Amino acid sequence: MSSTRSRKPPPERKVGGAPLKEWGTVAFVLVGAAVLIGSAAFACDTAREWLAFGTAVVGAALIPLVYTLKLHHEGRLYLRNEAEIEANRSRIQRVSIPLGWTLAAVLLLISFVFSTAVYAVMGGLLLGLFPGILANFLRLRREVWR
pLDDT of residue 68: 85
19 bridge partner residues: 14
Taking only the tens place, the pLDDT of each residue in 14-71 is 888 888 888 888 898 889 889 889 988 888 888 888 888 888 889 888 888 888 888 8
pTM value is 0.67
Does 79 map to a domain? yes
Q: How many domains does the chain have?
A: 1
CB 120 within 8 A of CB 50: no
DSSP designation for 14: E
37 bridge partner residues: none
Does 8 map to a domain? no
39 or 7: which leads in pLDDT: 39
Does 14 map to a domain? no
> What residues make up the domain containing 103?
19-143
DSSP designation for 144: T
What is the spatial distance between Cα 38 and Cα 4, in angstroms, rounded to a whole number?
48
Taking only the tens place, the pLDDT of each residue in 101-120 is 887 787 777 666 666 777 88
Does 6 map to a domain? no
